[in-house]
Amino acid sequence: MSGTLVLVRHGQSEWNLKNLFTGWKDPGLTDLGVQEASEGGKALKAYGIDFDIAYTSALSRAQKTLDIILEEIGQRDLETIRDEALNERDYGDLSGLNKDDAREKWGEEQVHIWRRSYDVPPPGGESLKDTGARVWPYYVMEILPRVLRGEKVLVAAHGNSLRALVMILDRLSRESVLKLNLATGVPMVYKLNADSTVASKEVLGDMSKAH
């Protein structure tokens, strides 16, 4: 049996709360976001896992979530690698806009296509396919080899960068990945086989609060 890969989406950010497109912008966590990260850490502690290394994005909401989790599990000094390859999808011209205002400007249908299509990017931004194009090579080159060596690896990142990862781990089609929503602060524990396929998956928390 190879190692373990744990994926966690960051807790609620200030812009999630305000219904704004966030992307590569860098708002902090809300009080609820801090609580969600803390609950994720407690769930991992109860699960009883010690990590060998952690990865996160270049954005503070994911980094803060990771810090809170590491505090909860007593691994504050864990080696951590930050890389923008794991950043949230870049929403381009939509970044910082209220989602309702964007619908008024471009129309409900167009905004829905940008948010939920696989390969149609918003103006100046990335589609989910574009996001995957930077996440997948980073996973294959940097993260996967450690898991296959038997290490326990924690990744704290974002809704869309993690959706791109879950797409290949869970072998989701382009259509089914668009329906996938990941709950904030809820760890997903993957055990991998030696050929990098998934041996088992466990969700440590309430996926019903995904949005």
Active site residue ranges:
10, 88
What does the alpha-carbon distance between residue 114 and residue 20 come to, in Å, rounded to a whole number?
Answer: 14
Which helix (H) or strand (E) segment is 201 a member of? strand 198-203
Angle, CA of 119, 124 and 126, to the nearest 5°: 35
Q: Considering Cα of 90, then 93, then 97, then 99, what sign does the dihedral take?
A: negative
Contact partners, residue 20, CB within 8 Å, separation at least 6: 96, 97, 98, 99
Six-digit token pair at 75? Answer: 């691994």
